[in-house]
């Protein structure tokens, strides 16, 4: 498949984290101090977690029927589920700092240069344009099978 061909939309999770050890992130809205993305490709989940000093990519060794959104929601994170859009027209990228939000926007197909914070991204994803839906947080934690259940985002 060439780069000019549109891919079919991928199931995606946008995960919003409320806690941080970084003092400069505490000015962000409570509950929305960091975000990262999980994309499903066939039976495989891949997470992309843009941390302060690196970007961590991880293939999650979970069975096809594993409730990954329940895993993150059970840990108290706000989780939105929807489709990553790859059908949007290509544009020149905005010149903005490389943050968790800019990485998430690129992965999810969000073309909104004024969206700079995790809270703004959450609002944009919930809009009819993107149609992401919230996964209820009042779920018992679901553990990742055969993996360390501690989230990489806890180290931001």
In a domain, residue 149? The reply is no
Is 40 inside a domain boundary?
yes
- Say if 90 falls within a structural domain: yes
- Helices then strands (H, E): number in the chain? 3, 6
Tell me, yes or no, whether 133 lies in a domain: yes
Domain membership flag for residue 130: yes
Give the closest residue to 136 by CA, choosing from 70, 83, 75, 82: 70
Q: Kindly state whether residue 14 falls inside one of the protein's structural domains.
A: yes
Domain range holding 51? Answer: 10-139
Per-residue pLDDT of the chain (156 residues; tens, 9 = 90+): 444 455 667 899 999 998 766 665 555 666 778 999 999 988 899 999 998 889 999 999 888 889 999 999 988 899 999 999 877 677 776 677 889 999 999 999 998 888 999 999 999 999 998 989 999 876 566 666 665 544 444 444
Cα Rg for the chain, rounded, in angstroms? 15
User: Based on the structure, what is the number of domains in the chain?
Assistant: 1
Would you report the helix, strand and coil content of the chain in percent, each value rounded to 5?
20, 25, 55
Q: Give the global pTM.
A: 0.80
The answer to whether residue 52 is domain-embedded is yes
Instruction: Report if residue 49 sits inside a domain.
Output: yes
State the angle between helix axes of 100-108 and 118-126 in degrees (0 to 180), rounded to the nearest 10: 20
Neighbours of 100 (CB within 10 A): 26
């Amino acid at each position: 498949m060439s780069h000019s061909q549109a891919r079919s939309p991928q199931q995606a999770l946008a995960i919003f984290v409320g806690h941080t050890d970084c003092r400069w992130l505490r000015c962000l809205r409570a509950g929305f101090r960091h975000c990262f993305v999980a994309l499903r490709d066939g039976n495989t989940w891949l997470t992309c977690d843009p941390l302060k000093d690196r970007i961590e990519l991880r293939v999650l060794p979970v069975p096809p029927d594993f409730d990954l959104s329940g895993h993150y929601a059970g840990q108290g994170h706000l989780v939105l589920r929807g489709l990553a859009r790859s059908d949007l027209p290509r544009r020149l990228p905005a010149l903005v700092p490389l943050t968790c939000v800019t990485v998430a926007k690129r992965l999810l197909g969000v073309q909104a240069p004024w969206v700079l914070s995790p809270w703004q991204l959450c609002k944009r994803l919930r809009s009819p344009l993107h149609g992401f839906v919230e996964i209820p947080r009042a779920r018992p934690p679901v553990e990742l099978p055969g993996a360390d259940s501690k989230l990489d985002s806890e180290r931001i």
